[in-house]
């Protein structure tokens, strides 16, 4: 223990007062140090082993890790398990449950939305809240239900407060939804809302411009017919736009019937 550390509070105050009376106005170290001298060359175990800075192990990049892990999956169930163990998305630590998918994995058609909400977070399934109930009615209008459709989101965990997912959160989940679509291999892909449509199709158009137009989504070596329509949550806020969604649904039904 140093002399200063052994002083009582009263002794320390007395010493400080004595320094002030003596004109001391700065603290110096016991031994002199040349602060203008260049720093000594670092000597580390990595350098001793002949490993340079570019060779040293780097902190894991969540996006690179997501791509690597998504590629490992050969089935949807494997992908679900890999995603459940993935720790690169911060949303995982604020959400109650992961929402991987709902519906029939053998269905011909796949719907992809944006992110789970509060009710989805509680149940661990996409589209089970108010928007989900409207989606069920939309499906029923063209002869579908959750036994004949497969449903997922581009983000697997609920953002706090139902806020919009950040670009970083979307990007770190993207390798998994891309692999999910590739493994699911639907005959028809439907994007629910602008967020999923723009991200997955790499388009900058707004949803009102993109909706109702058939596009081609590339999944590995396959080209999947894809269409965007209005998100059920948007339709709850703007019920007058349901007429546009109905047109899209009719186009989807024709595609399923092979008459598009």
Note the pLDDT tens digit of each residue in 3-48.
555 667 777 666 666 666 655 555 655 555 555 555 555 444 444 4
Q: Is residue 10 part of a domain?
A: no
Q: Which of 44, 247, 236, 54 is nearest to 131 (CA)?
A: 236
Distance of CA 175 to CAs 64, 122, 162, 231, Å?
A: 9, 24, 22, 22
Q: Is residue 130 part of a domain?
A: yes
Q: Is residue 173 part of a domain?
A: yes
Q: Is residue 88 part of a domain?
A: yes
Q: Is residue 110 part of a domain?
A: yes
Contact residues for 152 (Cβ-Cβ < 8 A; gap 6+): 100, 101, 102, 110, 111, 112, 113, 126, 177, 180
Distance of CA 98 to CAs 24, 47, 154, 165, 167, Å?
A: 63, 43, 12, 15, 19
* 162-194 confidence digits (pLDDT tens): 999 999 999 999 999 999 999 999 999 999 999
Mean of per-residue pLDDT scores for the chain: 88
Q: For residue 60, what pLDDT is reported?
A: 72
Range of the domain at 79: 63-257
Number of domains the chain is built from: 1
pTM summary value: 0.77
Q: Is residue 77 part of a domain?
A: yes
Give me the CATH number covering residue 184. Answer: 3.40.470.10
Q: For residue 202, what pLDDT is reported?
A: 96
Q: Is residue 165 part of a domain?
A: yes
Q: Is residue 3 part of a domain?
A: no
Q: Where are the beta strands (DSSP E) in the chain?
A: 102-103, 109-113, 150-153, 188-192, 215-219, 222-229
Sheet arrangement for strand 109-113: 102-103, 150-153, 109-113, 188-192, 222-229, 215-219
Q: 228, 128 in Cβ contact below 8 A?
A: no
Q: For residue 66, what pLDDT is reported?
A: 98
Alpha-carbon span 231 to 196, nearest angstrom: 10
Contact residues for 38 (Cβ-Cβ < 8 A; gap 6+): none
CA angle 69, 75, 77 (to 5 degrees): 85
């Amino acid at each position: 223990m140093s002399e200063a550390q052994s002083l009582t509070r009263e002794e320390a105050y007395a010493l400080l007062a004595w320094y002030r009376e003596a004109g001391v106005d700065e603290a110096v170290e016991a031994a002199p140090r040349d602060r203008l001298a260049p720093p000594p060359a670092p000597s580390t175990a990595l350098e001793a082993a002949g490993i340079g800075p570019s060779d040293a192990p780097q902190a894991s990049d969540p996006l690179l890790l997501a791509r690597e892990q998504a590629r490992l999956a050969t089935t949807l169930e494997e992908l679900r398990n890999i995603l459940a163990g993935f720790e690169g998305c911060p949303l995982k630590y604020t959400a109650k449950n992961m929402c991987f998918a709902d519906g029939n994995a053998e269905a011909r058609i796949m719907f992809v939305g944006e992110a789970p909400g509060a009710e989805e977070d509680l149940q661990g399934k996409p589209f089970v809240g108010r928007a989900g109930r409207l989606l069920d009615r939309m499906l029923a209008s063209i002869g579908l239900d959750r036994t004949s459709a497969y449903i997922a989101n581009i983000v697997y965990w609920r953002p706090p407060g139902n806020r919009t997912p950040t670009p970083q959160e979307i990007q770190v989940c993207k390798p998994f939804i891309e692999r999910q679509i590739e493994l699911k291999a639907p005959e028809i892909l439907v994007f629910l809302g602008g967020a999923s449509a723009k991200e997955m199709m790499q388009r900058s158009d707004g949803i009102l411009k993109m909706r109702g137009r058939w596009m081609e989504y590339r999944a590995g070596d396959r080209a999947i017919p894809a269409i965007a329509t209005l998100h059920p949550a948007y339709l709850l806020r703007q019920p007058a736009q349901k007429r546009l969604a109905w047109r899209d649904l009719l186009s989807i039904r024709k595609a399923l019937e092979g008459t598009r």
